[in-house]
Amino acid sequence: MPSVTEILETMDYGPAPEASGEVRAWLKARGTFGHFIDGAFTKPGKTFATADPATGEVLAKVAAGSVKDVAEAVKAARAAQPGWGRLSGHERAKWLYALARHIQKRERFLAVLETLDNGKPIRESRDIDVPLAARHFYHHAGWAEMLAEEFPGASPVGVCGQIIPWNFPLLMLAWKIAPALAAGNTVVLKPAEYTPLTALAFAEICAEVGLPKGVVNIVTGDGETGAALVAAEVDKIAFTGSTEVGRAIRKATAGTGKALTLELGGKSPFVVFADADLDAAVEGVVDAIWFNQGQVCCAGSRILVQEAVAATFQNRLKARLGKLRVGDPLDKSTDVGAIVDPVQLTRIRDLVAKGEAQGAKLHQAAAQLPAKGCYFAPGFFTDVAPANIVSEAEIFGPVATLTTFRTPDEALALANNTRYGLAASIWSENINLALDVAAKVKAGVVWVNSTNVFDAGAGFGGYRESGFGREGGREGMREYLAEPTPRARAEVAAVALDAAPVPAAPSKGAAPIDRTAKMYVGGAQKRPDSGYSYAVMAKGREIGLAGLGNRKDIRNAVEAAQKAGGWGKATGHNRAQVLYYLAENLSAREAEFTARLKEAGVTKAADEVAGTIRRAFYYAAQADKFDGAVHSTKSAHVTLAMPEAFGVMGIACPNDAPLLGFVSLVLPAIAMGNRVVAVPSQSMPLAATDLYQVFDTSDLPGGVVNIVTGPRDDLARTLAQHDDVAAMWYCGGAEGARMVQAESAGNLKVTWTLANRDWHGPDGQGRGFLTRATQVKNIWIPYGE
Ligand code: NAI
């Protein structure tokens, strides 16, 4: 024990441990935990241990969920869903409020339990995890209350399987369960194997408040249990965890009609400009990478500092690092606690050792680590080459990389040089600069002069290989609601079979010469790479030829679309101008288009052309009106929810309604600023290729719309596999839809599979298409503090 004089001299903290007696008594009384199914705990069969990573002490044994356990839980959730879904929003809100209150009532208990099971400092579980979990239930009680008004016509998805990681066990549970329940779904949730305890305590809370049985079911277990849940009869899977497992789940759910949201890893940039408040930015690093031992999907793990201030910044960062207290997570003055499990500690050590071996220099806190337990001294790397493993891999530990840049453009290039796109922090006192970078950085969440701020009122989720879907706010609610039209819902369940015919070789000299359509790539007509064409038939007669596109044509088209990036930067107003012009030009040629469609044997040709023109005006009108929102978050920020274009989209168009189907998909996509590679109706591609002249005379920049004709499913496969295609819409049969979803797993592109709709009716047009053509970026900006 230091003397009082010594303490006063060093100003060091004394130990201030949080009491854990109540939690230990609870654990002792429970002994071994079963699953929570249909409102009660099951008798545990096979079990596994969960331990305190700070000491290695086994805290409890929990059941290892089998395929049968998962099936029972899903059955209970299925049985409970209609009743729960039929309750009024107001009734469901009351339950959500009750859950929020009970979490709050047991805040200290839950914080201690979380810290014991996970190793995170009690300061964090007490001040962040548990209060945010309660806030999530409160906030979503509100959405339940207003559901009918705010989401007219929407209905619950059904039974949701939810799989969560170990880094924020209770908070991730709240992120998953609160919106699902608010929307009228029932759930089966599988917590991570290292940290199942707060989920089981939450199950007790559900029983305590008398939540109808079967609405919330918790099945514990490891990856095998998770895989069983993915394979079970659920309507949706919501997953948070590693990109690798996310990719496996994307493949496993392909073609099943199960809705899917993935919140995956990241390697998020933390950009410090020379004019930043450097002390604030240093504190930012503490919250970005040393918070929760760096085991945070959106951790600011790549620090980028402008050269002019790099030396000063690095010195201050080192000084701050020296002050971090690493140790007993239950100690209220601990900054950095224990790593969740020995397995994870080994992973971190291996990666860091590799990073050093590859030439990076590690600066680590000199903090005295406890003699036993899973501890890793926080730090950061300098001298990191771009090819170093630590520049790319998610370390998921308390170690960042620090590199320098000279200009904002260079900062952006470095920031975006990753396959991930979860979050970014930008530090500058110049609001123009900060917001300019915020607009250009590829990330789903951007914090300006702040970092790792979360709130139930804002959406959270990534771009690129960080996954898709959003949690929190209005965007998050949407993920738990089925689309309003019954027609669209049926698509989710089972896509009607629609095999496009095999392209037939043309007969020699039969087709009229003026109907030999080329491809349209980069604003110019291009011959197919294969040099071959196929016969376009109408009423048994050959009416023209279309290019037989192949992989090479798709690749060229994607390249052309990539180059047309200026379209994404154009304002909504500018895009609207071009689309209006396009609509007018179409209008002027209404009779001609109608005659061509009639000749092609299209029924309702006049209706189809009239509908096409109306649709063009509609999306021209929407181009500058489909805007975002300002979320009301709990902290002093304005949080801008900006719908952004994906970039390059692949679209495989329906076979029927060859003109209307094409414009119904392509126009909303480009209205939002995407560039498109479209595969038109396979049997009647000429309806789309007739549009070239309209595009050319409407000032549509070359490369914004590219058209490749040919075998739809082969071309769709190449699009789905292409890493530079960020989103893919596929309209066709069930097998094609499965293929597109499975092949999209490479870069985890967003997919939307549609069956052949009634393109003439309301299912063929609306804001739903614009929502699908965008991803929401949430930008947090300090406001009024
Ligand atoms: P993980 O992705 O394996 O585990 C997350 C959850 O998925 C757990 O509940 C696990 O039981 C479950 N799971 C595992 N395999 C599954 C499968 N085939 N099907 C369905 N569910 C499955 O993550 P893990 O192994 O715990 O950590 C490995 C690395 O993943 C970390 O070092 C980190 O880089 C990353 N990670 C990222 C997280 C994030 O929030 N983005 C969270 C956890 C880990």
pLDDT tens by residue, 138-154: 999 999 999 999 999 88
Q: Identify the H or E element spanning 145.
A: helix 130-150
Whether residue 176 has pLDDT greater than 60: yes
At residue 489 the predicted structure's pLDDT band, cuts being 50, 70 and 90, is very low
CB 296 near ligand 1, within 6 Å: no
Letter string b/e over residues 172-205, b meaning 16 or more CB atoms within 10 A of that residue's CB:
bbbbbbbbbbbbbbbbbbbbbbbbbbbbbbbbbb
pLDDT given at position 502: 59
CA distances from 477 to 135, 157, 481, 607 (A): 15, 11, 7, 37
18-263+477-482: CATH class: alpha beta
3-state secondary structure of 217: strand
Whether residue 267 has pLDDT greater than 90: yes
Name the least confident of 59-68, 431-440, 541-550: 541-550
Distance of CA 674 from the midpoint of ligand 1 (Å): 32
Distance of CA 167 from the midpoint of ligand 1 (Å): 10
The per-residue pLDDT for range 375-418, each reduced to its tens digit, is 999 999 999 999 999 999 999 999 999 999 999 999 999 999 99
At residue 583 the predicted structure's pLDDT band, cuts being 50, 70 and 90, is very high
Q: Taking a C-beta distance cutoff of 8 angstroms, is the pair 89, 147 a contact? A: yes
Q: Taking a C-beta distance cutoff of 8 angstroms, is the pair 708, 662 a contact? A: no
CB 265 near ligand 1, within 6 Å: yes
359-386: average pLDDT? 94
632-649: average pLDDT? 96
Residue nearest to ligand 1 atom 36, measured at CA = 242
CB 242 near ligand 1, within 6 Å: yes
Mutate to test the pocket of ligand 1, among 242, 260, 348 (most ligand atoms within 8 A of CB): 242
Fold match, 18-263+477-482 / 269-459: no
Rounded percentage of the chain residues whose pLDDT exceeds 90: 88
Rounded percentage of the chain residues whose pLDDT exceeds 70: 95
The per-residue pLDDT for range 685-744, each reduced to its tens digit, is 999 999 999 999 999 999 999 999 999 999 999 999 999 999 999 998 889 999 999 999
Distance of CA 395 from the midpoint of ligand 1 (Å): 13
Whether residue 499 has pLDDT greater than 60: no
Which CATH number applies to 520-626+646-769: 3.40.605.10, 3.90.1150.10, 3.40.50.300, 3.40.630.30?
3.40.605.10
Whether residue 651 has pLDDT greater than 80: yes
Helix pair angle (660-671, 605-622), 10° resolution: 10
pTM: 0.95
CB 240 near ligand 1, within 6 Å: yes
159-179: average pLDDT? 98
Distance of CA 163 from the midpoint of ligand 1 (Å): 9
pLDDT given at position 621: 98
Residue nearest to ligand 1 atom 21, measured at CA = 226
**Nearest ligand 1 atom, CA 163:** 9
At residue 552 the predicted structure's pLDDT band, cuts being 50, 70 and 90, is very high
CB 235 near ligand 1, within 6 Å: no
Q: What is the mean pLDDT of the chain?
A: 94
Q: Taking a C-beta distance cutoff of 8 angstroms, is the pair 209, 137 a contact? A: no
In whole angstroms, what is the distance from residue 407 CA to residue 611 CA? Answer: 49
Q: Taking a C-beta distance cutoff of 8 angstroms, is the pair 629, 474 a contact? A: yes
3-state secondary structure of 364: strand
What are the backbone dihedrals phi and psi of residue 188, each rounded to the nearest 5 degrees, phi first? Answer: -120, 115
CB 656 near ligand 1, within 6 Å: no
Question: Catalytic amino acids?
Answer: 263
247-259: average pLDDT? 96
Distance of CA 352 from the midpoint of ligand 1 (Å): 20
pLDDT given at position 501: 53
439-449: average pLDDT? 98
567-579: average pLDDT? 97
The pair of structure tokens assigned to 685 is: 């591609």
pLDDT given at position 497: 34
The per-residue pLDDT for range 269-292, each reduced to its tens digit, is 999 999 999 999 999 999 999 999
For the chain, the domains span 18-263+477-482, 269-459, 520-626+646-769
Whether residue 158 has pLDDT greater than 60: yes
Q: Which of 426, 405, 427 lies closest to 277, judged by CA? A: 427
**Nearest ligand 1 atom, CA 263:** 41
CATH architecture, range 269-459:
3-Layer(aba) Sandwich (3.40)
13-32: average pLDDT? 93
∠ Cα 66 70 71 (to 5°): 115
Whether residue 500 has pLDDT greater than 90: no
Whether residue 230 has pLDDT greater than 70: yes
Residue nearest to ligand 1 atom 9, measured at CA = 192
Distance of CA 261 from the midpoint of ligand 1 (Å): 15
111-126: average pLDDT? 98
At residue 486 the predicted structure's pLDDT band, cuts being 50, 70 and 90, is very low
Residue nearest to ligand 1 atom 22, measured at CA = 223
Whether residue 1 has pLDDT greater than 80: no
At residue 774 the predicted structure's pLDDT band, cuts being 50, 70 and 90, is very high
Residue nearest to ligand 1 atom 12, measured at CA = 223
The per-residue pLDDT for range 593-626, each reduced to its tens digit, is 999 999 888 989 999 999 999 999 999 999 999 9
Whether residue 40 has pLDDT greater than 50: yes
At residue 483 the predicted structure's pLDDT band, cuts being 50, 70 and 90, is confident
Cα 438 versus chain centre, distance: 18
Q: Which of 213, 204, 210 lies closest to 109, judged by CA? A: 204
Distance of CA 180 from the midpoint of ligand 1 (Å): 21
CB 647 near ligand 1, within 6 Å: no
